[in-house]
Amino acid sequence: MQKRKIGNSGLEVSALGLGCMGLSFGYGPATDKQDAIHLIRKAFELGVTFFDTAEAYGPYTNEELLGEALEPFRNEVVIATKFGFREGKTALGLDSRPENIRNVAEAALKRLKTDVIDLLYQHRVDPNVPMEDVAGTVKDLISEGKVKYFGLSEAGVSSIRKAHAVQPVSALQSEYSLWWREPEQEILPTLEELGIGLVPFSPLGKGFLTGKIDEHTSFDQTDFRNIVPRFSEDNRKANQALVDLLGNIASELGATSAQIALAWLLAQKPWIAPIPGTTKLHRLEENVGAADITLRAGDLEKINQAVSTIEVQGARYPEHLQKNVGR
């Protein structure tokens, strides 16, 4: 798989990464540990060198899983993890105090079985802690050799600029896909100006853009999508038009809907590296196949024109979580 430099800081990753959250957290019961290790190692065999986790995924269990799975080839991969929640639990609220950042980094190093974190993100902007203090703490961790690169997740333009002025930000991780294009308004131009890469999570719309979810799909009771307005039964029915359209384009190009959605993202900017997640080997192989698809200008224009005729229904987060993004 081709590599990409995301941003101007020298961080190089595989064009597609692997978002590992769903193996442990967020989308129903955790995957069997040995099956999860096998999938992570299979991703590496297929050319994936960029793996994303966080202390909050579990909490802690996802980092431990990644540490064990990647240990045999640790020096050949880039591991990204995140700090920013009290005790690693999203329900307890935000905590980006410098002492917590340090504690999380030290604990993550042990769980990941490594002596350095390649990319350390602030998971969500904490309004109670000045961004200058957050960036300054990570800058210190970088100077101590415990972290290589600094990232932000779901941050707004003001926070990105404040952080970047203290410690260059290498990557922003935010949702971006054919059914969530808001970053094109302010975020992408800012990242381009500052030389920061974009790591889109949920590049397949939390599974919806694969065409395998419809209004009749039922999710496990612990699945995060149960509380996402965009995934209400009515909105899934309304949003089916986008999936149908994507499916038609994909069949014309001899690919799957998921592959076209990922190839479209890769074609937007050379400094974008999406991190689709999956628990299934055949989906992993399908996603990785997207890196070999080059959409021509005519294909991209056709996709953009078609998608612009459809207004996606439903918010991407429930209200209590929406307040934590874009700060």
> Residue 254 carries which DSSP code?
T
Nearest to 118 by CA among 158, 72, 77: 77
Neighbours of 28 (CB within 10 A): 16
Any domain includes 116:
yes
Alpha-carbon gap, residue 137 to 143, rounded angstroms:
10
- At which residue do the structure tokens 């540990």 appear? 33
Any domain includes 213:
no
Is 121 in contact with 151 (CB distance < 8 Å)?
yes
Q: For residue 15, what pLDDT is reported?
A: 98
Is 9 in contact with 170 (CB distance < 8 Å)?
yes
Instruction: Name the packing angle between helices 61-70 and 33-45 (round to 10°).
Output: 50
Any domain includes 226:
no
Has 317 been annotated as catalytic?
no
Alpha-carbon gap, residue 257 to 255, rounded angstroms:
7
Any domain includes 289:
yes
Which residue type sits at 86?
Answer: R
What's phi and psi for 117, nearest 5 deg? -95, 125
Q: For residue 219, what pLDDT is reported?
A: 95
Model pLDDT for residues 185-224, shown as the tens digit of each residue: 999 999 999 999 999 999 999 999 999 999 999 999 999 9
* Cα separation of the two ends of the chain: 34
157 burial type by CB count under 10 A (0-12 exposed, 13-18 middle, 19+ buried): middle
Strands 78-83 and 117-122, bridge-based pairing:
parallel
Is 107 in contact with 139 (CB distance < 8 Å)?
no
Chain-centroid distance of CA 189 in Å reads: 19
Alpha-carbon gap, residue 269 to 112, rounded angstroms:
30
CATH number at residue 174: 3.20.20.100
Average pLDDT along the chain: 97
Neighbours of 262 (CB within 10 A): 29
Nearest to 157 by CA among 178, 125, 186, 193: 186
Any domain includes 211:
no
Catalytic residue among 57, 121, 149, 176: 57
Model pLDDT for residues 250-261, shown as the tens digit of each residue: 999 999 999 999
Any domain includes 134:
yes
Considering just the CA atoms, what is the radius of gyration of the chain in Å? Answer: 19
Q: Which residues contact 282 (CB under 8 A, 6 or more apart)?
A: none
Q: Specify the number of domains making up the chain.
A: 1
How far apart, in Å, are the Cα atoms of 226 and each of 26, 221, 258? 10, 7, 22
Going from the first residue of the chain to its last (327 residues), give the mean pLDDT of each consecutive group of 10, the final group possibly shorter: 95 98 95 98 98 98 98 98 97 97 98 98 98 98 98 98 98 97 97 98 96 94 95 95 94 96 98 98 98 95 92 93 93
Q: For residue 69, what pLDDT is reported?
A: 98
Quickly count helices (H) and strands (E) in the chain.
11, 9
Any domain includes 104:
yes
Q: For residue 81, what pLDDT is reported?
A: 98
Any domain includes 23:
yes
Alpha-carbon gap, residue 242 to 257, rounded angstroms:
11
pTM of the full structure: 0.97
Q: For residue 55, what pLDDT is reported?
A: 98
Alpha-carbon gap, residue 228 to 232, rounded angstroms:
7
Neighbours of 97 (CB within 10 A): 16
Q: For residue 270, what pLDDT is reported?
A: 97
The boundaries of the domain holding residue 99 are 3-204+268-293
